[in-house]
Each structure stands twice: as C-alpha cells, then as structure tokens.
Structure 1
C-alpha cells in the first residue's frame, strides 16, 4: 500500500511540475518580445501578424483572380512573410520570435502531458474477440494506390489464408455492390476490400446490411479510413493478418442521399471540382481553373445546410464526415479520434473577401467558420441538384440531400496488433492547468485528496 501511495505521489509531482512548466513557458513566450524589444517589440509582433494576414489575403486573391492579377497576388502572398522575417532580422529580434515560438510549443507539450496524466486515457474503440472467418471474400482493385495489390502480393497472401479473391478489371467495370451481395448469397462470412475508400464504402454497406464483418486492406492512395482504424498504411499485407489473428471494432457508417460513406461527403467547391473529367489527371490545374467563379459565387449552387438547430447559409465549402475530425492538434489534422461517437462532423466555410480569408487564420472563432456535430444534416440549394464528392468519388444528387449516421452499424475486423491506433489528445485548458500547478499534495484534480482517499497509506 505504501509503495503504491509513493508511486502515486511521484506521478502527482510530475503532473504538477509539468503544469507549472507549461504556465511558465507560455508566460515567458508572451513576455519575451516586451522584455527584449520594449513597446517596439510588441508593435513589431502586431505588424508581423498583419503581414501574415496580408499573405492570406494574397492567397485569396490568387484563388479568385486570373491572369496578371493572380500573378500579383501570388507575389504578395510570398513577399509578405519574407518581409516580416526580414523586418525582425533587421531589428535583431528574429531570435526572440523563434525562441518565443519554441516556448509556445513547449507550453503545449508540457500542458497536454499534465492534463493527460489527470486520469485521461486514450480513446479506443472497444475490441470484440470473435473466431476467424471460414469463407472470407475480398474485392481487390489492381490499379489502386499505384498497383499495391501486385507490389505487396495481396491476392496471393489472401488466398493462402483461405479467402476467395476477385480482381477488378479496369477495362470491364463491375458493380462491386452486386459482387458483394452475390458473395453473401454464396455463403461468405466476411467481406473485404483492397482499394480506395469509395469502393470500401460500397462493400461496407453490404456487410452492415447482412451483419457480417468487414475487412479493410490499405491498398488505396490515401487510406483515410484505414488510418483512423490504426491499420498499417505502409504495409497493406499486414491488414490481412486479421483473417487469422484479428478482433472486431464496431464503428459508425454514414449515408448521404442513400449512398454509404466511411470518411466524408463534400459539397460546394470540392464537390464541383471533382466533377471535372480533367481533375484526376491535373488536380491543381483543374482547381485553379474553376475556383475563381466558384469562390465568388459566379457559378455553382448557393447552398443551405441544416444541422441540428444550426442553419448554414451560403457556405462555399461544406464537409460532412463520419465522426468529427480533430482540430485542436496540428499533428492530428485530417484524423478522427474515434469512429463510434454516433454523430456526424460538420465543417462549413464561407469567405466573401480577403479580410474574411485573413480572419480564418487569425481568429479561431471566425464568423466564416462553422464547426459542429449532428446526427443528421440536410443540404439544400437553389438548384434541383448539387455536386458532391463522396469518399473522393464524384456524384450529382437531387436536393434536399439527407445525410445521416448509423451508430456502430459496421463490424470491422482488424489485426489484433496494429501500429497506428490514434491517441487521445486533451484540449488545453489553462484554468485547469493553473489549478493543477497550484495544487499541493494529492488533490481533487486526479480524484484523490491529500487528506484521505484511495492510495493513502494506512
């Protein structure tokens, strides 16, 4: 009992000192420009922030203009941050800025460490142990992800493990939904896909419909769904280990206009850009060609979205995701912390001017940015149809478009050992950090008090 108490005391001390280090770092980061540059240093920081705002404004003009105006805007977007760096260097304060930024990073790292130690645990989807499938069926796209199926010998390994594999022929398109349903009728007890997220969603919907486990093989280009499941994206063959040594995760499945999606559905700018036949071959060029009219409202529908009690009017971009994406950690952008929360993530962006674009960078609560969660989202427009990108595939859908989520509808079989299980990252709560730093002994911050409670030696 005494050893356990001492161990708890050491953990509490480490937690308190981490909180104190975080607060000290953020205080020093804020004071450095004033200490070494005086009022002029603070003014330089304000000018630097304005310069970064000008860079974002230049980027906005570059996306909404053509010809010489676009060239000039690009020049501004590049010149503004260069001028800011030069300004700080000429006043011998560049090292102060760099040190201040380093201290901010240190404050974030130590603050999250302290808060993660207060009882927070990694958010993990519950694992269910089930026997291996006896008659697994897999669909593989040989061209997906730069021919990963062939490079990693996925067909051969799957067949050695007892799976029946169908290779898709790009020259003779086949209905993968019908393939999956026919496999179920023939007795398949697991359905799987080695291919892109769009193909995975179609087969996943059949698996969910019949209550069968679904296997994801990270053979696509981006493999977003595989990433959030913690699968090995560098070695797709490792995903097949789930056939013999696997567990099940029960995750949510999204639907938009009756079509399933495992990642997200995009409306507005992206939904229209992906419709272009040239997009697959030249993504950047196609986007630059279409964006000026789309962003300024000269083409494309005017969207309205209702999510819970919130109405989004006229967003240029609207993303509805199967569970929300993380926003509080730059290293975790584009990832979902969990796939079983039972809610859709909603991200809406409306930018009407260069000032609005700069505001998105400088103000986390900018009016043009809407971030929320909802169980259902209804997308409407001033036209009878809207363009949509569903898991990266282009569709044209009649309005209104109903987006919904079915909680834990999909049984995903994954390897028992997988390298990329996402870890929970606590939000920085400075008030909580101050209480933690001021604590003496074992406190209520961790649910234990110095005066008594669990862990106190008898």
Structure 2
C-alpha cells in the first residue's frame, strides 16, 4: 500500500463519522424548527406532493382530451403547493438545510466506503502496436467531430488507413471491414455511432482482430464504459502507439451484434413511427396513451432464462447490466466482461403502480436482473426494436444472447474515465468504518 492509499484509509473513519453527524442533523433540524408533530407534517406534505405529482403525470401520459391537460396542471401545481405550504409555515429554510445535510451525508458515505464496492477494473493485457490498422470514420457523426478534431490526418500520421463514410449512397460497413481484413488489416476501428461500432466489432470478433473505439459519436455510451475521453476523441488514437487490450462481451439480437442495448416495447414503437423524426414531442404524446394502455402495438412476452414476464410495456436488454439505479440505460455499466445480459422489464398499468415505482421495491410490473439468454416473443410476426440507437424490425421470437469475452478492444493505457465502482450504501458497513481507526 502506498502513502496515498494509507492516508485515504486513515481518513475514511472521519468521513463515515461526518456522514452520521450530517444524517442526524438532517433529522434534528426540522424537528427543532417545527417540533415533532410539525416535522411529521412536513414529511407528509412533501411525500404527498411527490405522490400527487407522479400520479398526475401518469394520468397525463395515459389519457387523451381534457383530462390529460387537467392532470398536467395538477402535476405542475403539486410541488408549488408544497413549497408555498413550507413558506407560510416559515419552514422552507429547515427543509432546504435538511436536504443539503442529506446530500453531504451521501457524499461523505461514498468517500468512506470507497474501495468496498465491486471491482470495476477490467483486466488489461499488454500488446504490441498494430502494423496495419484500418479505421472507418463517419464525418457526420457527433455533429462533425471527425473534421473538428482532424481525426483523419492524425490517424494517418500514426500509420492507419482511413475510410470515410461520406458518399451520398449508403455504404455497407460490414463489407467494407471484411475487405480491409482481406487486404491485411490487423486492427479495425470506428469513429462513429454505437450502431456502426457494433457492426465492425462483429467483423473483428469473426477474425479475432483487435477493435479500436474512437469516441466521435454523439453519446458515446460504449466509449464511456470503456473509460475513454469523450470530450477529445483524438486521445482514443493513443491506443495505436501505447495501448492495452481488454476482453469484453458482445451482445447479439437475432444474430445482429450490439455493444450497448436493445429495447422493445413503447420506446421502440415510438421511434419506429414515421412522424417521430419531424415532431418528437407531438408523436410521443399521441402514441403513449394507446401504447401504455395496451390498445396498440403487439403484446410482448419476455422469457428471461427460466422466468417469464407477460405483457411488459418496455424491455431493455443490455450488454452487461447497468447500475441498479438506472432503469433506462442512460448511465454506466460498471463492467463489460461479466458474461451476462442486463434485463429490465417494466409494466405500469395503473396510477398505483406508477406511484409504487417511487419505492423501488420489487413490484409486479418491474424487474431488473441478469440473464444468459432472453427471448422476446409477441402476437405478431415482427416487432420494432431499438438496437444501439437504430430502429429495426425483427422477426419473432427475438433471441438476445451474450458472447463472453468475444471482443478484443484496444484502448489507450491511460484513460480518464476509469474509476472505481461506487460502493452500495450500507449503514452497517458505514458504522463499522466510523468505529475503526480510533
């Protein structure tokens, strides 16, 4: 253990003690300001406001006509009524102070428990630089990052051959990568969206070649989970001269590869609509009620290993699971080499179930876990799917699977996004940490 680790270890008990002090203060402040009964009233009013707002929003997205707009008005007014109630009772300051103390509690606890979570560092393997790297770049991806960061010139200076997807006609990316392999390429890489990344990654897997991710897409979810610098894609090119190799999994849906996720149900149906591109908001508001109420779209059935979920409104299948607090696949995956799919199904058929999601307990309509294989069936021969951000129509039943350690990803030795996984908030472990080092 080096001196920095030793210092950090000695400081953790103090961070844990700070967390307990702030947690206690967060409870005491409203009690002192309003009395015990007043503090309970604050809690009831605040919780009630959240419940009413969520119930109103659910009504807004599942109903048509005047009821929809009345519900929207209630959703807007509910938090305003709560704030006004606190102001009239001269207790808004107590709520704000208590909230700030709660935030400090969480921050201090995370520092105190740092290092006790699941190890998020994937094994790295030393490798020699490639001799004939072949890179495919989409100049339109990410709002023109290829030109903005002069990626073509910089890649060619490092010995790479670059092919641009800049023609008016649609280019078969898979065929382009296959020809590069036939011509002797010993590394394949992509500067573009996650969908293009997945297609070229499949070719790299087929020929057991290393694969380079250049973070020039719009969202760069795959690059983020690899720890790459999403603000400066030129740093991804460092892997061509000083890189290491990661062995990561690759997801497949009906044999088509995906690096991030595949979604089915409400989201896939909306994106599939021809009107979505021209007016996203109006399309969502027009389609959501029928989709959520089951009046349109195919009826889905998800078979997750040996578990069957009937009638989910949304299904998210990911290449390795997202964090436990991320149901929509918008955050990070801690690892990409666990050899499992992440599986989330959601079915909310009533206002009560919508409010119940606030508790994040295991509800009838919500499941989150992992699987080796996931089958999506439906009462239709084809269903829409969103695969790495691309809208597709897939034959049913749709089979989602995982290829463990299939992809050899070449990344820079130094990556800014590599950080330890946050530990689960555990009061018992926090108490033990606070009592140590005394």
Give the TM bin, normalised by the shorter chain: over 0.9
- In structure 1, the partner of 2:241 is 244
Q: Distance in 2 between matches of 1:79 and 1:211?
A: 58
Alignment of 1:152-163 (within 5 A): 152-163=149-160
Say if 2:381 is the partner of 1:420. no
Instruction: Say if 1:407 and 1:35 are closer, same or farther in 2 by CA, change over 3 A.
Output: same
Contact 1:326 1:333 (8 Å CA) reproduced: no
SS of the residue aligned with 2:113? helix
What is the deviation of 1:205? 0.6
Give CA-to-partner distance per residue, 1:87-146, whole Å, 9 cap, x none. 11111111111111112112212222222255x585211111111111111111121111
Q: Distance in 1 between matches of 2:340 and 2:386?
A: 20
TM-score, structure 2 normalization: 0.93
Structure 2 residue corresponding to 1:80, chosen from 74, 78, 81: 78
- In structure 1, the partner of 2:344 is 347
Q: Distance in 1 between matches of 2:69 and 2:233?
A: 42
Instruction: Say if 1:181 and 1:305 are closer, same or farther in 2 by CA, change over 3 A.
Output: same
Structure 1 residue corresponding to 2:126, chosen from 122, 129, 134: 129
Instruction: Say if 1:23 and 1:347 are closer, same or farther in 2 by CA, change over 3 A.
Output: same
Give CA-to-partner distance per residue, 1:132-174, whole Å, 9 cap, x none. 1111111111211112212221122212221111111352001
What is the deviation of 1:283? 3.0
Contact 1:231 1:420 (8 Å CA) reproduced: yes
Alignment of 1:261-340 (within 5 A): 261-328=258-325, 334-340=331-337
Give CA-to-partner distance per residue, 1:419-443, whole Å, 9 cap, x none. 11243100011122223334465xx
What is the deviation of 1:7? 9.6
Contact 1:52 1:80 (8 Å CA) reproduced: yes
- In structure 2, the partner of 1:233 is 230
Alignment of 1:59-78 (within 5 A): 59-78=57-76
Structure 2 residue corresponding to 1:429, chosen from 417, 426, 429: 426
Give CA-to-partner distance per residue, 1:328-372, whole Å, 9 cap, x none. 489x96111111111111111111122221221244444432111
What is the deviation of 1:285? 3.0
What is the deviation of 1:34? 2.9
- In structure 2, the partner of 1:164 is 161
SS of the residue aligned with 1:123? coil
SS of the residue aligned with 1:324? coil
Structure 1 residue corresponding to 2:219, chosen from 218, 222, 235: 222
TM-score, structure 1 normalization: 0.89
Say if 2:163 is the partner of 1:141. no
SS of the residue aligned with 1:274? helix
- In structure 1, the partner of 2:252 is 255
Q: Distance in 1 between matches of 2:6 and 2:268?
A: 54
Contact 1:15 1:117 (8 Å CA) reproduced: no
Structure 2 residue corresponding to 1:375, chosen from 372, 377, 402: 372
Q: Distance in 2 between matches of 1:346 and 1:217?
A: 27
- In structure 2, the partner of 1:16 is 13
Give CA-to-partner distance per residue, 1:26-79, whole Å, 9 cap, x none. 233234333322212212211211111111122212212234333222211111
Contact 2:210 2:409 (8 Å CA) reproduced: yes
- The answer for unaligned runs of 5 or more in structure 1 is 442-458
- The answer for unaligned runs of 5 or more in structure 2 is none
What is the deviation of 1:9? 8.4
- In structure 2, the partner of 1:44 is 42
What is the deviation of 1:410? 0.5
Q: Distance in 1 between matches of 2:294 and 2:31?
A: 44
What is the deviation of 1:235? 1.4
Instruction: Say if 1:367 and 1:196 are closer, same or farther in 2 by CA, change over 3 A.
Output: same
Give CA-to-partner distance per residue, 1:169-223, whole Å, 9 cap, x none. 3520011111111111111101111111001100001101111011111111111
Instruction: Say if 1:71 and 1:210 are closer, same or farther in 2 by CA, change over 3 A.
Output: same
RMSD: 2.3
SS of the residue aligned with 1:132? coil
